[in-house]
Amino acid sequence: MADPKLLKQIEAFVGREYGRVYAWDQVNAPMIRHWCEIMGVDNPLYTDPAFAREAGFDDIVAPPAMLQVWCMGGLDNENYAPGSTDENSFEVLKVIEGYGYPAVVAVNTELSFERHVTLGETLYYTSHVDSISEEKTTGLGTGFFVTLAMPFYSKSDSGTDEKVGELMFRVFKFKPAHAAKPEEKAVKKDDKPARMRPLPGVSDDTRFFWEGCEQNKLLIQRCTSCQTLRHPPAPVCIECHSFDWDSIEASGQAKLYSFVVMHYPEVAPFDHPNPIGLIELEEGVRLIAGLVGVDPKNLEIGQKLQVEFNRFDDRQTLPQFRPVA
């Protein structure tokens, strides 16, 4: 049960308003173009004035999903445009933390829009605490969902600013659930059927590779027009754009090009720490595979490896790599 003193304090935060945060720049075409390029958005409504006029607008409009971008602080933390508030609209999180809820995780955001914003508009947003849930227990732990609402406005010379959209931002401020002790874990393992390894997503482009593994063969795709090898499998040769390909069987001799060792999160059924290699085959292509028979602390870039095929859950065979002397 949450401390009644805390509940009283956080109740007082609900509805609290915080000041304006202004955009550094007016809504402008270069920022829109850069955003569209980065996000892979190619709607001409955002970049082609003639198209936008045809669609009934005076000029190009900004992508609605870009709303939050206009008022961001820039590369340096807290570097907000002149006139912006320096209040911390998340101050309630500090209060909750003071009662023993140290962890925080962003849960979700929702954007809603009133209308398109157009070139030359100056935007700002304000914030208020929309809601704080009662104490809840989730898989992560026990704590409070805090939702902040940020309505965005277009500043008007006449003084009647118009709301153009709203961002809802929800975080969970919580006491982490106790991690299971090793003996508890052991008991659980016996209770439940063992988790199986996830199966790879197999497509028409990759099927030959997985079928090769089932026959203990490491197959590499080869362009039959220019003989270039490629991995991961793909429909087109990146050198000559040919769709024609076959495959060759790799020797399985390789070296360690790079690696990571997964410590956390511990995901069944994998052993942890879990060493994973970026393997360079002697044929020249690289692939990602699990490393076996290694001490994760003593992995060395460039060390020699040899493929082996291991069967899991009686339903899939995976290539893994083991050091050779």
Token pair of 204, please? Answer: 């028409």
Give yes or no for residue 253 binding Zn ion (CB under 5 A): no
How far, in Å, CA of 141 to CA of 158, rounded?
49
Among 36, 223, 287, 289, binds Zn ion (CB under 5 A): 223
Q: How far is the CB of 203 from Zn ion (least distance, A)?
A: 20
Q: How far is the CB of 241 from Zn ion (least distance, A)?
A: 7
Site map 173..212 versus Zn ion, x via CB under 5 A: ----------------------------------------
Near Zn ion by CB under 5 A, which window of 83-91, 105-113, 222-230, 303-311?
Answer: 222-230
Token pair of 304, please? Answer: 């020699």
Stretch 289-308 residues interacting with Zn ion (CB under 5 A): none
* Nearest in space to 252 (alpha carbons), one of 294, 282, 222: 282
Q: Which is nearer to Zn ion, 41 or 236 (CB)?
A: 236
Q: How far is the CB of 239 from Zn ion (least distance, A)?
A: 4
Question: Total residues contacting Zn ion (rule CB under 5 A)?
Answer: 8
Give yes or no for residue 225 binding Zn ion (CB under 5 A): yes
Give yes or no for residue 224 binding Zn ion (CB under 5 A): no
Give yes or no for residue 226 binding Zn ion (CB under 5 A): yes
Q: How far is the CB of 212 from Zn ion (least distance, A)?
A: 20
Q: Which is nearer to Zn ion, 6 or 236 (CB)?
A: 236
Give yes or no for residue 242 binding Zn ion (CB under 5 A): yes
- φ/ψ region of 56 (left if φ > 0, alpha if ψ in -120 to 50, else beta) reads left
Per-residue H/E/C for the chain: CCCHHHHHHHHCCCCCEEEEEECCCCCCHHHHHHHHHHHCCCCHHHCCHHHHHHCCCCCCECCHHHHHHHHCCCCCCCCCCCCCCCCCCCHHHHHHHCCCCCEEEEEEEEEEECCCCECCCCEEEEEEEEEECCCEECCCEEEEEEEEEEEEEECCCCCCCEEEEEEEEEEEEEEECCCCCHHHHHHHHHHCCCCCCCCCCCCCCCHHHHHHHHCCCCEEEEECCCCCEECCCCCCCCCCCCCCEEEEECCCEEEEEEEEEECCCCCCCCCCCEEEEEEEECCCCEEEEEECCCCHHHCCCCCEEEEEEEEECCCEEEEEEEECC
Q: How far is the CB of 205 from Zn ion (least distance, A)?
A: 15
Q: How far is the CB of 230 from Zn ion (least distance, A)?
A: 8
Give yes or no for residue 240 binding Zn ion (CB under 5 A): yes
Q: Which is nearer to Zn ion, 28 or 225 (CB)?
A: 225
Q: How far is the CB of 237 from Zn ion (least distance, A)?
A: 3
Give yes or no for residue 239 binding Zn ion (CB under 5 A): yes
Residue type, 140: L
Contact 234, 159 (CB under 8 A): no
Q: Which is nearer to Zn ion, 97 or 205 (CB)?
A: 205
Q: How far is the CB of 227 from Zn ion (least distance, A)?
A: 7
Stretch 38-57 residues interacting with Zn ion (CB under 5 A): none
Near Zn ion by CB under 5 A, which window of 99-107, 150-158, 242-250, 285-293?
Answer: 242-250
Give yes or no for residue 237 binding Zn ion (CB under 5 A): yes
Near Zn ion by CB under 5 A, which window of 79-87, 105-113, 238-246, 317-325?
Answer: 238-246
Near Zn ion by CB under 5 A, which window of 45-53, 188-196, 205-213, 217-225?
Answer: 217-225
Contact 206, 233 (CB under 8 A): yes
Interface ranges with Zn ion (CB under 5 A): 223, 225-226, 228, 237, 239-240, 242
